[in-house]
Amino acid sequence: MAENVTHLPGFTLDALDGKARTFPTGGPALLCFVKEDCPTCGLTMPLIEAACRAADGAVDVIAIGQDRAGNEALVKRYQLTVPMLDDSALKVSFEYAIEIVPTIILADANGAELRRFVGFGKWDWQELLAELTRIARVCRAADRLAGLSGLAPRMRLEVGRAGYRGAPAGGGGRQSAQGAADRDCGPGRRFRVHVRSGADRRLAGDSADAGAGHPDARRNAA
């Protein structure tokens, strides 16, 4: 049975430093739609920064703000190192059907949506941060193993495409219900990257824990 996969629209937006950033990035990415006048986004910004640290470079964590002056205020207020892209024209927000901010979207290297949630749910963020830590661990292991045979760049790309659940073959890690892809990673060893299929998997958040989000500027403009 064919899997129903949502491929996200590509875009290019300018960051506050003036550099253009493009999605898909060629690797897994976390897109975080925010707006400065949203109180729930204020709760979320430190977690977006924590997500960047948890991913450890294995995932491109990107904040997408809907008001340029507000974007600058968020970066200064929370001392963000995460790239903040300017979507004050709301073009990308429209294309992504963003109705509530914050909206958090995890995508693979090809721009396929893997997970999306809105607002601020404790369990959403706990699961996401754990997932990003797993992705980083898999990529580090892939680099170490594939480096022996010069395959590290290819392995990192394949890990990004595969869906990020990994473990040395034959030991540890949870088996994916959807199968696994085995890759050669050096003399005498193989590394198994478990394929997590199932696009747009939403986690059950704890709505009692925090806000349900804030209507974004796109809705206000309508």
* pLDDT tens figures, 145-189: 766 555 555 545 554 544 443 333 333 333 332 333 332 222 332
Q: How far apart are CA 219 and CA 222, in angstroms?
A: 5
Strand partners of residue 192: 167, 182
pTM assigned to the model = 0.71
- Answer for the pair 104, 117: CB distance below 8 angstroms, yes or no: yes
Q: How far apart are CA 15 and CA 17, in angstroms?
A: 5
pLDDT of residue 140: 81
pLDDT of residue 145: 75
pLDDT of residue 220: 54
What residues have CB less than 8 Å from 215, skipping those under 6 apart?
99, 100, 101
Q: How far apart are CA 171 and CA 5, in angstroms?
A: 30
The hierarchical CATH code for the domain 11-128+200-221 is: 3.40.30.10
Q: How far apart are CA 69 and CA 75, in angstroms?
A: 10
| Number of Cα atoms under 13 Å in the Cβ half of residue 151 | 16
SS3 52: helix
pLDDT of residue 89: 97
Bond into 9 cis (ω within 30): no
pLDDT of residue 219: 55
pLDDT of residue 165: 37
Strand partners of residue 222: none
- Angle at the Cα of 80 from the Cα atoms of 74 and 84, rounded to 5 degrees: 65
Beta strands in 35-169 (DSSP E): 60-65, 84-86, 100-101, 103-107, 113-118, 165-168
Domain definitions of the chain by residue range: 11-128+200-221, 136-194
How do the pLDDT tens digits run along the chain, 222 residues long? Answer: 445 778 999 999 999 999 999 999 999 999 999 999 999 999 999 999 999 999 989 999 999 999 999 999 999 999 999 999 999 999 999 999 999 999 999 999 999 999 999 999 999 999 999 999 998 888 888 777 766 555 555 545 554 544 443 333 333 333 332 333 332 222 332 333 333 333 323 322 333 345 567 776 555 554
